[in-house]
Structure 1
Amino acid sequence: MTNSTTEPVYQLDVLGSGYEQATLNFPDDYEGEVTATLIRKKAAQPTSKAVLYIHGFIDYFFQTEMAEQFNQHGFDFYALDLRKYGRSYLPHQKYYNVREIAEYDAEIDQALAIIGAEGHDAVLLSGHSTGGLTTTLYTAHHPDHPLIKALWVNSPFYDFNMNPIKKKLGIPNLSRVGKICPDLKFPSELNKWYVPSLHKTMHGEWDFNLEWKQPTYPLVRLSFVRAIYEAQKEIHQGVSLNVPALVMHSDQTKNPKKWHRYAQTTDVILDVKHIDKYARKMKGDITISKIKNGLHDLVLSEQPVRENVYQQLFDWLALKGL
């Protein structure tokens, strides 16, 4: 157990040898007790560089190949399972329940403090999808953070992928209702082929916990819609970053209604044109990389594609002095 004044106590993580986890504790919220989980995998040789990775919606950290890639390139790897996700979920909680993205600042603050105390002076902050939105805003809101030296986002959730009229009229109204009735639910419109494209028991090559990363999620709470909408408004205005940022996304979006090869070669969750549009509105040293045949989670793409992701990522980090 840990809080802001105690050292974390690590134990073996569910991912096995080399992976450790520590529980982070926070004040109770509107559902009661709250925890998050910090996972780490240290590089073979001591290093002052680290990465802190934040997962997306209906997700948790399981991407061991990514962790090992960072270790091989001289980074200690850390990841958070945010409150109410994955390892951090508690029986009295609603999965993934959040009312504002800033709720996650507490675990990011604490994780960075631990990373600094463990001998690191340079951190790459990283996030996928909703985690990409969260880490972009965290970086913008903490321009003088002593540890954050760069940002890498993998298909960040900078806008809702839905009919433009429905989005323009519906999302603001749903957000207003969500402030008053946060637990009301609304159809998620998430493509049903995404998780089947990934899991090894279906069409993919990856093994992960299907309770923590659920195959279907037909209804989403309006509290989540509101939290994302309010966060995206800031992105849409154009945030300023004072560290280099690498924004990666697939080269195309598709929405297959039945099983199709597109589910293994495109982003079926977000519209990549939105990611590109709002990345270009950000101010600072911003690099945008379009990955041919990339999935929504680029590091889970087919092997040649993810090899390209890592090649571009580590070339960019070297160019930026990390």
Structure 2
Amino acid sequence: MDESWSEDILGVPFRALTLPLDPDDEGPRVATLVAYEPAGARGPGPSRAVLYIHGFSDYFFQTELAEALSAQGWAFFALDLHKYGRSLLPGQTPGFATSLEEYDADLEAGLAALRARLAARTGTEADPEIVLMAHSTGGLTATLWAARNPGRIAALVLNSPWLDIQGSALLRSAAQGILDTLSRRRPRARLRFPALGFYFRSISDTLDGEWPVDPAWRPETGFPVRAGWLAAVLAGHAALARGVTVDVPVLVLCSAASAIGPTWNEAMLESDIILDVGPMVRRAAELGHDVTIRRLPGALHDVFLSRPEVRRAAVRAATAWMDVQVPAGSGAGPPDAWPGGDLPTPQGG
């Protein structure tokens, strides 16, 4: 196997590969591909794979998701985009971009390395069927990329995607106009938003959550929001509002409810406290001709970080749907052999 792969920070059996990208005004840039490669696994062979993309102020650490999808017969890979997580270099502005199309290079490098890794592992050049799975802002980026690149993936799974911004169309238009001017003059200008830290509290094992989170890569109150980055996100929202078509089946997983507010309450442990799921699902329904939306009661913003019974429902919903879109090949592993136990049938619609 390629010796440039090394043990990932998550430990065995995760491996990581640094992917050089073109530099920008802050210097060199890289993306990082992470592969889940359990020893002795029967494995899915080259037939099908998942590439997972994180959200803003985020990185890949969802080990249980990797285990679950691998056990269901999927080769699992995740991509830390440039200036995030494993790909954040000294002197860089965390999470900063002025166009979501900047991540096209990350995705192209990640997809090429994924195919090369599977070819090295299996000794065949057969092209795998790839499902792109993306969370929050990553879901917006992945949706726009898929619309611009028809035929490149087999299906798209969106985990609480940020497809629209709360508020009226007039408010969005005004915000876009103000941001466009500021982002041209001072793209790295820091915008002031309330620093509440409630979502970190709901996921971190140091507080009310279950997950070990690196506070340097996922700070308690998130990365600072920069004018150029937010303008890029709003431009993405505007593109969706004008209408795009994703040519492959789309699955959207999200919470059944939002609980966005200035003070902590226990409902925040079983709701989306980052995005309003109403605008999310309305916009999601317009993404293509084959869109399935599953709203999961009790789910967090990242549905795969929710309490055990909810995240297992999310995995069950995702894998059942993915198996229809990309049936398992002869090399697939046993469909229900996940160490997390049986996955309950998801509720909601």
TM bucket normalised to smaller:
over 0.9
Q: Using the alignment, how far apart are the partners of 1:129 and 1:218 within structure 2?
A: 15
| Residue 37 (str. 1) matches residue 32 (str. 2) | yes
Matches within 5 A, 1:120-135: 120-135=127-142
Name 2:90's counterpart in structure 1. Answer: 91
Q: What SS does structure 1 have at the residue aligned with 2:29?
A: strand
Residues 1:229 and 2:234 aligned together? yes
Give the Cα separation in 1 of the matches to 2:265 and 2:99: 35
Indicate yes or no: 2:272 matched with 1:267. yes
| Deviation, structure 1 residue 307 | 1.0
**What is the Cα deviation at residue 159 of structure 1?**
1.6
Matched position secondary structure for 1:94: coil
Contact 2:94 2:223 in 1 (8 A): no
* Cα displacement string for residues 83-112 of structure 1 (whole angstroms, at most 9, x for unaligned residues): 011111111211111110011110100111
Distance 2:189 2:64 in 1: 37
In the TM superposition, 1:1-322 aligns within 5 A as: 9-42=4-37, 44-46=41-43, 47-48=45-46, 49-117=48-116, 118-119=118-119, 120-145=127-152, 148-161=153-166, 166-189=171-194, 191-217=196-222, 219-322=224-327
Structure 2 SS opposite 1:278 = helix
* Letter matched to residue 251 of structure 2: L
Task: Indicate conservation of the 8 Å contact 2:260/2:275, yes or no.
Answer: no
Moved over 4 A (4+): 162-166
TM-score (norm 1): 0.93
Instruction: Give the total of aligned pairs.
Output: 314
Separation (CA, whole Å) in 2 of partners of 1:264 and 1:165:
32
In structure 2, give the amino acid aligned to 1:221.
Answer: R
**Preserved contact between residue 155 and residue 250 of structure 2 (Cα < 8 Å):** yes
Please give the secondary structure, in 2, of the residue aligned with 1:281: coil
Tell me what 2:124 maps to: none
Closer, same or farther: CA 101–8 of 1 in aligned 2, 3 Å? farther
Structure ranking higher on relative contact order (CA contacts 8 Å, 6+ apart): 2
Output one character per residue of 1:178-205: Cα deviation in whole Å (capped at 9) or x when no partner. Answer: 1221011112356531101110111111
Measured in 1, the distance between the counterparts of 2:86 and 2:107 equals 16
Task: Give distance in 2, aligned partners of 1:277 and 1:245.
Answer: 14
TM-score by structure 2 length? 0.86
Q: What secondary structure sits across from 2:251 in the alignment?
A: strand
**Distance between the aligned counterparts of 1:190 and 1:230, measured in 2?**
24
Instruction: List runs of 5+ in structure 2 lacking aligned partners.
Output: 120-126, 328-349
Change in 2 beyond 3 A, CA 1:205/1:81: same
Partner Cα distance (1:280, 1:189) in 2:
31
One-letter identity of the residue aligned with 1:32: G
User: What CA RMSD, in Å, does the superposition of the two structures yield over aligned residues?
Assistant: 1.7
Match of 1:188, SS state, is coil
The superposition leaves residues 137-189 of structure 1 with CA deviations (integer Å, 9 ceiling, x where unpaired) of 111111022xx111001000112246876544223311332122101111235
- Whether the 8 Å contact between 2:199 and 2:273 is mirrored in structure 1 is yes
